[in-house]
């Protein structure tokens, strides 16, 4: 094939095939196939392919010497040429369908991911919004008990609550916070509970490992500690509430154990543990391991997660 043959074939037939490709991709598929009008789509495609076949044959007649003449000098018949042209056109039709469905699939996947991310963001916002009222309700109950008893350390308890609420309102807006700040928040909560119980409070709170330059989702552990004080026995020196946090090589291990106060039941139920379990599932997928051992007399919780 000469340079002229190549130029004619590429310029003429190439542009016709590309036009057929984009006609099907941009017009026919959206108008018929996307709307599931299959019969009409097949009919229109066949008519289009036949018309483009005649267009190609007309181009062949125009450049008869280069296109409709075989290597041995014989003229290619109309039927033979037309069948070959139809086959080529159908290949371009098929390629445009494949491309269209591939693009649509990736587009739908992205839309689904965006919708899922929006749903998860809204759910996390709702879960986080539930923490503050839940915590505030329990804390105010504690301070009310102190005020009712006319305890001298009631102002100190209010100050501790103020520090806790400032952290929750102004420092927990990011997806993750400094682990050191979060642990200080837990310490303030424990101090508030110690004020409530006075000299009869027995809590062992230990932190081991390097906590600097570590980040954690805020307000993640507080529900476990709240439950320890709410349903546990905090005034027994022989069985104190045990709280231990160990940080090692980017992993955090949280351990909590308390003896249960059998006469202190939350009749209304609680959202705290269900909340934290859901947040763990959303924020640390396949990055945490939670074990809860709830017996008649004791409650033990162990949480390991990758920071």
Positive or negative: CA dihedral 92, 93, 95, 99: positive
C-alpha 220/C-alpha 124 separation (Å) is 12
Do 294 and 155 fall into the same domain? Answer: yes
**Domain edge (last residue) among 79, 95, 111:** 111
Residues β-bridged to residue 177: 216
Alpha-carbon distance of 237 to 203, in angstroms, equals: 9
Q: Which residue among 81, 111, 141 closes a domain?
A: 111
Residues 205 and 100 both lie in one domain: no
137 within domain boundaries: no
206 and 243 Cβ atoms separated by less than 8 Å: yes
Cα 47 to Cα 34: distance, rounded to the nearest angstrom: 19
Range of the domain at 34: 3-111
Is 66 within the bounds of a domain?
A: yes
160 and 286, same domain (yes or no): yes
Q: Are residues 164 and 259 in the same domain?
A: yes
Q: Are 138 and 230 in contact (CB under 8 A)?
A: yes
pLDDT for residue 28: 87
Q: Are residues 37 and 106 in the same domain?
A: yes
Any domain includes 134: no
Whether 254 maps to a domain, the answer reads yes
Asked if 165 and 256 sit in the same domain, the reply is yes
- CA–chain centroid gap for 257, Å, is 32
CATH of the domain at 290: 3.30.565.10
Q: What is the pLDDT along the chain (307 residues), one digit of tens a residue?
A: 555 555 666 666 778 888 888 888 888 888 888 888 888 888 888 888 888 888 877 776 666 555 665 556 566 666 777 777 888 888 888 999 999 888 888 887 777 776 566 666 655 565 565 555 666 776 777 777 777 777 677 788 788 778 877 887 777 777 788 999 889 989 988 888 887 777 677 888 999 988 888 898 888 888 888 888 877 787 777 888 899 999 988 899 999 998 887 765 444 445 567 778 888 888 888 889 999 888 888 889 999 998 8
Do the domain assignments include residue 29? yes
Name the domain count of the chain: 2
The reply to whether 167 and 246 lie within a common domain is: yes
Residue 266 backbone phi and psi in degrees, to 5:
-85, 95
Query: What phi and psi, each to the nearest 5 degrees, are found at residue 265?
Result: -110, 140
- Asked, for residue 58, whether it belongs to a domain, the answer is yes
Closest CA to 27 of 187, 271, 35, 296: 35
| Same domain? 165 vs 37 | no
Residues 168, 242 share a domain: yes
Q: Which candidate, 131, 179, 138, places its Cα nearest to that of 279?
A: 131
Same domain, 158 and 300: yes
- Could you say which of 58, 89, 111 is where a domain stops? 111
Q: Are residues 26 and 156 part of one domain?
A: no
C-alpha distances (whole Å) from 160 to each of 44, 88, 298 are 76, 79, 29
CA-only gyration radius of the chain, Å: 36
Check residue 71 and give its pLDDT: 59
Taking a C-beta distance cutoff of 8 angstroms, is the pair 143, 154 a contact? yes
| Total residues found in the chain within this entry | 307
C-alpha distances in Å from residue 136, one per residue of 60, 140, 146, 195: 84, 6, 15, 16
- Considering the domain boundaries, does residue 249 fall inside one? yes
121: in domain: no
| Whole-number pLDDT of residue 244 | 93
* C-beta neighbour count of 161 within 10 angstroms: 20
> Does 179 share its domain with 76?
no
């Amino acid at each position: 094939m000469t340079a002229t043959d190549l130029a004619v074939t590429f310029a003429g037939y190439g542009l016709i095939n590309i036009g057929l490709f984009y006609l099907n991709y941009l017009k026919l598929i959206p108008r018929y196939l996307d709307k599931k009008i299959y019969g009409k789509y097949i009919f229109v495609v066949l008519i289009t392919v036949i018309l483009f076949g005649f267009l190609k044959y007309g181009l062949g007649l125009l450049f008869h010497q280069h296109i409709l003449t075989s290597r041995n000098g014989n003229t290619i018949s109309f039927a033979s040429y037309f069948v070959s042209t139809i086959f080529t056109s159908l290949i371009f039709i098929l390629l445009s369908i494949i491309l269209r469905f591939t693009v649509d699939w990736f587009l739908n996947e992205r839309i689904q991911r965006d919708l899922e991310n929006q749903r998860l963001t809204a759910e996390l916002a709702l879960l986080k919004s539930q923490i503050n009222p839940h915590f505030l309700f329990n804390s105010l109950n504690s301070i009310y008990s102190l005020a009712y008893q006319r305890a001298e350390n009631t102002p100190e308890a209010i100050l501790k609550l103020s520090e806790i609420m400032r952290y929750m309102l102004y420092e927990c807006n990011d997806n993750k916070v400094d682990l050191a700040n979060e642990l200080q928040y837990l310490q303030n909560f424990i101090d508030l509970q110690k004020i409530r119980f006075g000299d009869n409070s027995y809590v062992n709170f230990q932190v081991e490992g390097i906590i600097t330059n570590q980040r954690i989702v805020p307000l993640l552990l507080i529900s476990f500690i709240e439950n320890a004080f709410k349903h546990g026995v905090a005034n027994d020196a022989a069985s104190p509430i045990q709280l231990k946090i160990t940080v090692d090589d980017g992993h955090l291990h949280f351990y909590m154990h308390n003896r249960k106060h059998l006469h202190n039941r939350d009749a209304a139920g609680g959202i705290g543990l269900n909340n934290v379990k859901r947040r763990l599932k959303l924020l640390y997928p396949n990055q945490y391991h939670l074990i809860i051992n709830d017996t008649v007399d004791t409650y033990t919780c162990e949480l390991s997660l990758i920071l």
